Amino acid sequence: MNFHVLTLFPEMVNDCLHTSILGRAVLKGCISINTVDIRDYADNKHLRVDDYTYGGGAGMLMRAQPVYGAYEAVEKRIGFRPRVIYLTPQGRVFDQQMAKDLALEQDLVFLCGHYEGIDERVLEEIVTDEVSIGDYVLTGGELPAMVMIDAIARMVPGVLSNGDSARTESFEDSLLEYPQYSRPEVWHEKAVPPVLLSGHHANIEKWRREQAVIRTARKRPDLLERAVLTKEEQRLVLQVREEGKDGSLPDEGEHE
Ligand code: 6GU
């Protein structure tokens, strides 16, 4: 998978995305990160990328010309019109399903805006998807682009070393992940749940699934609308709802 990022801050994006797991994925050839400096495509001798807005009002806008130039450079390089994702709080809110779907593309272009936005006319010509990462306002599209690239890249085959770890965590089956423990067996007088030391794999799987259901019911009950639960699991959810009614915090351990 090739990620192309059109940005005024290529070093910010490059440094971040060549670190840790994504850096290793680049070295392995599973993904590539191609940052394109929009300023390199400005056609005026001062390399200006921003300008005032027609009609007045506060703030500057990114000019259409250098943004289009940066886009054309990518199109020429890959030889077809790719999906272009514009990062904006006005877009559809990003989620795990979108990350999975986008991971199937060969090339993805991320357009990072700054100032008060980008001239509408270039957006009309090149943007195929508008995406937000949540209901709050950021200063630019770089952080959202990096958030999306991280989430998408880890769904690309070969990026995660353990083939399983992409499947068995939070949001799989619309459930949060179960609690996990490592050594020592007792820490600050808290013991690891005994079932995890039993070596009985069927019981361990059953316990983990129950914990995932309980956690989701407690922390993110909204996710359960999309989860497929057995009758027994639905009873667990009802139990958690009852616990919450007296205003006390439910005890994590009581369903072991
Ligand atoms: Cl994608 N961009 C900006 N600038 N702010 C945001 C956002 C995106 N998503 C949430 N806030």
pLDDT tens digits along 179-188: 999 999 999 9
Is residue 169 scored above 80 in pLDDT? no
Q: How far is the CA of 115 from the centre of ligand 1 (A)?
A: 12
Average pLDDT value over all residues in the chain? 94
Q: What is the CA radius of gyration of the chain?
A: 23
Mutational pocket test of ligand 1: of 8, 62, 130, 138, the residue with most ligand atoms within 8 Å of the beta carbon: 138
The span from the first CA to the last CA of the chain, in angstroms, equals 42
Residue 91, classed as helix, strand or coil, is: strand
Where, residue-wise, is CATH 3.40.1280.10 in the chain? 2-153
**What ranges make up the beta strands (E) of the chain?**
2-7, 32-37, 50-52, 60-62, 83-93, 107-111, 129-132, 186-187, 190-191
Given pLDDT bands bounded at 50, 70 and 90, which one contains residue 247? low
Provide, rounded to the nearest whole percent, the portion of the chain with pLDDT above 70: 93
pLDDT tens-digit series, residues 136-146 = 999 999 999 99
Q: How far is the CA of 185 from the centre of ligand 1 (A)?
A: 43
Q: pTM here?
A: 0.92
Q: What is the pLDDT of residue 246?
A: 75
Q: Which residues contact 126 (CB under 8 A, 6 or more apart)?
A: 67, 68, 71, 84, 111
CATH of domain 2-153: 3.40.1280.10
Q: How far is the CA of 86 from the centre of ligand 1 (A)?
A: 10
> Distance between CA atoms of 221 and 215, rounded to whole angstroms?
9
Which CATH superfamily groups domain 172-244?
tRNA(m1g37)methyltransferase, domain 2 (1.10.1270.20)
Ligand 1 pocket by Cβ (under 6 Å): 87-89, 131-134, 136-138, 140-141, 144
Q: What is the pLDDT of residue 163?
A: 57
> Distance between CA atoms of 204 and 201, rounded to whole angstroms?
5
Where, residue-wise, is CATH 1.10.1270.20 in the chain? 172-244
Q: Which atom of ligand 1 is nearest to the CA of 138?
A: 5
Asked if 2 contacts 78 with a C-beta cutoff of 8 angstroms, the reply is: yes
Mutational pocket test of ligand 1: of 62, 92, 111, 133, the residue with most ligand atoms within 8 Å of the beta carbon: 133
Is residue 228 scored above 80 in pLDDT? yes
Q: What is the pLDDT of residue 171?
A: 83
Q: Stretch 209-229: mean pLDDT, rounded?
A: 97
Which residue's CA is the closest to the ligand 1 atom numbered 5?
A: 138
Given pLDDT bands bounded at 50, 70 and 90, which one contains residue 256? very low
Q: How far is the CA of 149 from the centre of ligand 1 (A)?
A: 14
